[in-house]
Structure 1
Amino acid sequence: MPRMTSDLDTYRAAWLLVRQHGDEAGLVAAQRADTLLAVGDLGGCRIWKRILAAVVELGRQEPGNGDRLQ
């Protein structure tokens, strides 16, 4: 059965990854996706690729007045 992860959960995970790893967050997400692919966990790999995309998207956005993730 495929795992379903909401967009909100994906962005929360991405935000936490950025908070923990800073500029290395994208690399960490990519490495986790590669590791899961190597062991045949395609669902987990897809989730980490979504998190990677969210990390990239968060890096493109500059917070405005009052904007922040919680």
Structure 2
Amino acid sequence: MSDDSASTVRLPRYEVGIDSYRAAKMLVDKHGEGAKAFAGRRLQELMEAGDEAGAAAWADILFAIGEMRRGPRPGEARN
């Protein structure tokens, strides 16, 4: 094992369904730059209420917002 591979962390691929992207798109259309903060607050509320399924759904929406707003990764094809 080389020194480079020892310091590299590989995270599992995280994928969300199309419904999360649809919800994310609606939030971005409605809240603009505040969409991520809105989704984060809703996720926190549901976590505090103990609603695991709801929190998981909002975590997916929050992830989708981030994916929609990020630039291309190095070597990533552009559509």
Scaled by the length of structure 1, what TM-score is found?
Answer: 0.76
Scaled by the length of structure 2, what TM-score is found?
Answer: 0.68
Please identify runs of 4+ aligned residues in structure 1 that moved more than 3 A: none
Equivalent residue number for residue 13 of structure 1: 23
Greater relative contact order structure (CA < 8 Å, 6+ sep): 1
In structure 1, list runs of 5 or more residues that go unmatched: 1-5
> Computing the radius of gyration over CA atoms, which structure comes out larger, 1 or 2?
2
Shift of 1:61: 4.8
Counterparts of 2:61 and 2:34, CA distance in 1: 13
Counterparts of 2:24 and 2:61, CA distance in 1: 5
Instruction: Tell me the C-alpha RMSD between the 2 structures.
Output: 1.7
Higher helix share: 1
Secondary structure at the aligned position of 1:53 is classed as helix
